[in-house]
């Protein structure tokens, strides 16, 4: 791969690319592409959500999504990385680090108090990466799947 890394925002017409990246992140090829496209379009219209692609050699190799929310218990804006994925062939090329830098820049621009993210307990390599990038494991996140009848 070359050294030329570029970054762009995302358009609704690129939903297939986003879908492929989310499937890579989830390691699940059975996600509903229609729902991802609908969600992407809705989120692109939300001023508190931002997306960025990373490109190498004219191919999208990374993706990050960033959400801003005013937390009452902080009395400040908080930025949260919702998704961050780098394709396997582009890992160790600084793509993830560059996408995090973009998110941090956006968070500072919006005067967020902090930037946070969640990651699966199974993603040990991701944990090491985030720690190297200065993130700290300060919270536990609990989840509960909801059943529908």
For the domain 5-132, what is the CATH code?
A: 3.40.630.30
The model's pTM is 0.91
For the chain, the domains span 5-132
The 3-state DSSP composition of the chain as helix, strand, coil percent (nearest 5) reads 35, 25, 35
- Name, in order, each residue with C-beta under 8 angstroms of 104's C-beta and a sequence gap of 6 or more: 115
Contact 85, 21 (CB under 8 A): yes
What's the pLDDT score for residue 113? 96
pLDDT value for 47: 97
Q: Could you list the mean pLDDT of each consecutive 10-residue stretch along the chain, which spans 149 residues?
A: 82 96 90 95 97 95 98 96 96 94 97 95 93 94 91
Between strands 59-71 and 76-86, the pairing is antiparallel
């Amino acid at each position: 791969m070359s050294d030329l890394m570029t970054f762009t925002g995302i358009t609704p017409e690129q939903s297939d690319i986003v879908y492929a990246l989310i499937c890579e992140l989830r390691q699940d090829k059975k996600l509903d592409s229609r729902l991802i496209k609908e969600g992407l379009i809705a989120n692109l219209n939300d001023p508190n959500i931002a997306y960025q692609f990373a490109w190498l050699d004219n191919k999208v190799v990374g993706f990050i999504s960033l959400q801003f929310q005013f937390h009452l218990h902080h009395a400040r804006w908080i930025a949260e990385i919702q998704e961050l994925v780098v394709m396997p062939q582009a890992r160790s090329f600084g793509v993830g680090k560059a996408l995090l830098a973009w998110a941090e820049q956006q968070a500072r621009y919006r005067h967020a108090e902090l930037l946070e993210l969640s990651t699966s307990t199974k993603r040990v390599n991701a944990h090491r990466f985030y720690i190297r990038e200065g993130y700290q494991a300060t919270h536990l996140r609990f989840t509960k799947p909801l059943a529908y009848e």
